[in-house]
Amino acid sequence: METILIWILGAFLAGHICKFLSIPVIIGFIFSGYLFQSFGLGDQQNYLSLPAELGVELLLFSIGLKIKPSSLLNRSLFFVFLIHTATVLMILFFLLILKLPLHSKILICLALTFSSTIIASKALEGRREATTFHGRLALVVLVFQDILALALLIYTSENNWNVSTLYLLFLPILIPLVKLSFERMETSEELELLATILVALLLGATLFKNAGLTGEIGALTVGMLLANYKIADRLSSQIWSVRELLLLAFFIDLGMSLNINFDITGHSLLVVSFLFIKTIILFGLLLAFKLRAYTSFLIVISLATYSEFSIILISDFLKSGMLSQREYSILIFSVCMSFVIGAILNKNVHKIYEFLEPYLVKFERNKHHPDEQPHTCGGADVMLIGMGRVGQPIFENLVRNNIKVVGFDADTNRVKRHLEEGRRVTYADAEDPGFWSAFRFGNLNAIVLALPEYAAQNWSVKQARKFGFNGKIIVATRSQGDPDILRTSGADEIYDAYQAAGIGVTKIYMKD
């Protein structure tokens, strides 16, 4: 018990240091495992194997819940994925020096073509860009990669195909019963959590193990079968804390298996450098399929890592004898370093693009781009950016007062909903320098910024002033950031939505 508590404490401290340095905390977990092993505190009794296995299965189940069949209908991105995977596979095959049989080396190189679903998802959610145009495209590419990873897991697993495996064909018939069970369940977070874990680990992992396959394959498959369920997102969030706790065991155990020295570090840096090739190829393919440089750049930065699937596959290759301990350590260390690089790039992606924009836009195609943004507000008097919980009421109030207003939002689903409800709203990403540089303000009198992030608000104010807007800029700060900085950047009015709600409630009370 004392040893387990020491592991948790060490992982906590290492993770906290990584968080302070703005790199993924899982790097700290892996490094803590390496330190424990180095100081003789390794997992001699194999305590970590079971929770590590369960954590990976819950991870794959939650990933499966995000793989909606409708995501697979984007033919252009599917071709981008195929060409990119094939090209990177061939390049890595010739550049990666591994003394392996041909078959094993191809599998390793294929695993390294994947990108991290966890790092990309957390980065997009952290910037509130998961539902933007580029965010959705990045997730679609990840869906294709996850499906290929599933195929690799099936291929490399030590499966024992038998007659009982055919029973899995009846699994889709059970899914409606599972959904019905959730709907009939009394509203209780505790029961829903337990039910979700049972579905993932019993109906998914255990059933597939008994059928001769692996638990990882089963968990991912059942998650995919439930992806279209109306509460799929809630089920994924329900198991998040349990999954993360169990994955802690996986990453600590992973660190304990590492063997790091100057030779391994040097070779790992070489493998990490291949990320640049992987990124350049994807950027070129996205441009070839008529996406703008801004959209393409944000997608490739989101995918500029190796994948946690690679860790799972590489670990399986070590167990099956495909890899030596040295080669295993090189590859695992490379994946870990890619997480660090990916986190740093994602945190500063908009600043990096702003610096590189003059060079990157030269590679855009002259033809119409699917993500083309509007360059004018038409005859509108007010431009409202951000059509969420704060922006929509502002829009409706302006319309009621006969003020001509046009709304903009980066969430494509939100734009579609507003259009269906009869509002004049269109897609635009306020953090895209190309949007502001090409925009013609015309007779526009005011810009209202109802963006959720303070950094995006300040950036938009600066860009509007930089490109010649002389009208009034009103910002709903939502109690974030320093209002004086916004005024220095060019904002005229700072409207704190939360403070205004407090004032409004007080006035109602005093009136009564």
The residue whose two tokens read 């591994």 is 98
Mean pLDDT confidence for 49-54: 84
Instruction: State the pLDDT at residue 6.
Output: 85
State the Cα–Cα distance between residues 152 and 300, nearest whole angstrom: 23
Mean pLDDT confidence for 317-329: 78
DSSP three-state, residue 44: coil
Residues 255 and 332: beta-carbon distance below 8 Å: no
State the Cα–Cα distance between residues 52 and 58, nearest whole angstrom: 10
The kind and range of the H/E element at 77 are helix 75-95
Task: Enumerate the β-bridge partners of residue 473.
Answer: 447
Q: Angle at the Cα of 367 (from 363 to 368), degrees rounded to 5?
A: 110
User: pLDDT tens digit string along 97-108?
Assistant: 777 778 778 888
Angle between helices 262-288 and 325-347 (to 10 degrees): 50
Percent of the chain with pLDDT over 90: 9
State the Cα–Cα distance between residues 447 and 207, nearest whole angstrom: 57
* Cα–Cα distance list, 418 to 133, 391, 407, 427, 448 (Å): 16, 12, 9, 11, 18
For the chain, give every domain's residue range.
51-363, 382-511
Instruction: State the pLDDT at residue 90.
Output: 93
Highest mean pLDDT: which of 78-87, 131-140, 240-249? Answer: 78-87
Instruction: State the pLDDT at residue 367.
Output: 66
Instruction: Write the single-letter amino acid at 505.
Output: V
CATH fold group of domain 382-511: Rossmann fold (3.40.50)
> Was domain 51-363 assigned CATH 1.20.1530.20?
yes
Q: Which residue has the higher pLDDT, 18 or 72?
A: 18
Instruction: State the pLDDT at residue 297.
Output: 92
DSSP three-state, residue 383: strand
The kind and range of the H/E element at 246 are helix 240-256
Residues 377 and 406: beta-carbon distance below 8 Å: yes
Q: Please say if the pLDDT value at position 456 is more than 70.
A: yes
Torsion of CA 35, 38, 40, 41, to 10 degrees: 20
* Cα–Cα distance list, 451 to 76, 386, 392, 487 (Å): 31, 5, 11, 16
Q: Kindly give, in sequence order, each residue whose CB lies less than 8 Å from that of residue 41, ignoring residues fewer than 6 positions away.
A: 3, 6, 7
User: pLDDT tens digit string along 271-290?
Assistant: 999 999 999 999 999 998 88
Residues 4 and 47: beta-carbon distance below 8 Å: yes
- The pair of three-digit structure tokens given for residue 141, joined into one six-digit string: 């590419």
Mean pLDDT confidence for 188-195: 77
DSSP three-state, residue 477: coil
Stretch among 79-88, 227-236, 340-349, 424-433 having the lowest mean pLDDT? 227-236
State the Cα–Cα distance between residues 78 and 388, nearest whole angstrom: 31
Backbone angles phi, psi at 493, to 5 degrees: -125, 135
Instruction: State the pLDDT at residue 61.
Output: 82
